[in-house]
Chains A and B, each alone.
Chain A
Amino acid sequence: MNDKSTWEFGTRQVVYGAIGAALYGVFSWATNILFPLPAAGNVTFRPAVAVLIFFAVAYGPWVGLLAGFIGNMIGDGLSGWGFYWNWSLGNGLMGMIPGLIVMAISDFRARADILKAVGWGTLGIIVGMLFASLTEMFVGGIDFNTALVGYFVPAFLGNLVVTVILLPILMIAFAAVAARRGR
Chain B
Amino acid sequence: MLVTWKYRPRNTFIQRLDPRTRWIFLFSIILALTIPEIWDYRIIFPLFVLSLTLFFMARIEWKDVRRAFLSIFILVFFIVGLNAMLFGRGGPSSVQDPTSPVLFWVVTVSKAWFAIVQIMRMLTMAFLAIPIPYTMDPNIYGTTFKRMGVSDKVSFTIDLAFRFLPTFARDLTITMDAQRARGYELERLKGGIVARIQRLAPLIIPVVMQSTVTGEEVIDAMDLRAFGTARRSWLKELHYAPRDYFMIGLGVTIFLACCILKWGFGIGDFFVPEFFTRLVTG
Q: A residues bordering B, Cβ < 8 Å?
A: 9-19, 21-23, 25-27, 29-30, 34-35, 37-38, 40, 42, 45, 47, 50-51, 54, 58, 66, 70-71, 74, 76-85, 137-146, 150, 161-162, 165-166, 169-170, 173-174, 177, 181, 183
Give complex CA distance A161, B198 in Å. 11
- With A139-B34, A146-B80, A162-B197 known to touch, is A14 a contact of B133 (CB < 8 Å)? no
CB distance from A100 to the nearest CB of B (A): 19
Query: Can you name the residue of chain A whose Cβ is closest to the Cβ of B129?
Result: A82
Q: Specify which chain B residues have a CB less than 8 angstroms from the CB of A169 in the assembled complex.
A: 198, 201, 205
Query: Can you name the residue of chain B whose Cβ is closest to the Cβ of A37?
Result: B196
Q: B residues bordering A, Cβ < 8 Å?
A: 1, 3, 5-6, 26-27, 30, 34, 37, 39, 64-65, 67-68, 71-72, 79-80, 83-84, 87, 89-91, 118, 121-122, 125-126, 129-134, 138, 153-154, 156-165, 167-169, 172, 186-187, 189, 193-194, 196-198, 200-201, 204-205, 207-209, 211-216, 218-219, 222-223, 227-228
- With A19-B214, A35-B186 known to touch, is A177 a contact of B200 (CB < 8 Å)? no
Give complex CA distance A27, B205 in Å. 12
Q: Specify which chain B residues have a CB less than 8 angstroms from the CB of A81 in the assembled complex.
A: 68, 71-72, 130, 133
Cβ–Cβ contact A18 & B193, under 8 A? no
Give complex CA distance A145, B89 in Å. 8
Q: Classify the interface of chain A: helix, strand, loop or mixed.
A: helix
Q: Specify which chain A residues have a CB less than 8 angstroms from the CB of B189 in the assembled complex.
A: 35
Cβ–Cβ contact A78 & B133, under 8 A? yes
CB distance from A41 to the nearest CB of B (A): 12
Cβ–Cβ contact B212 & A80, under 8 A? no
Give complex CA distance A152, B77 in Å. 18
Cβ–Cβ contact A165 & B208, under 8 A? no
CB distance from A23 to the nearest CB of B (A): 6
Q: Specify which chain B residues have a CB less than 8 angstroms from the CB of A27 in the assembled complex.
A: 204
Q: Specify which chain B residues have a CB less than 8 angstroms from the CB of A17 in the assembled complex.
A: 157, 161
Q: Specify which chain A residues have a CB less than 8 angstroms from the CB of B156 in the assembled complex.
A: 14, 18
Cβ–Cβ contact B205 & A161, under 8 A? no
Query: Can you name the residue of chain A whose Cβ is closest to the Cβ of B223?
Result: A11
Cβ–Cβ contact A23 & B168, under 8 A? yes
Cβ–Cβ contact A70 & B132, under 8 A? no
Cβ–Cβ contact A29 & B227, under 8 A? no
The contact sample of 11 A-B pairs, CB cut-off 8 A, is A14-B153, A16-B212, A18-B160, A22-B167, A37-B196, A74-B162, A85-B27, A138-B34, A140-B118, A145-B89, A181-B213
- With A14-B156, A14-B160, A146-B90 known to touch, is A79 a contact of B68 (CB < 8 Å)? yes
Cβ–Cβ contact B125 & A78, under 8 A? no
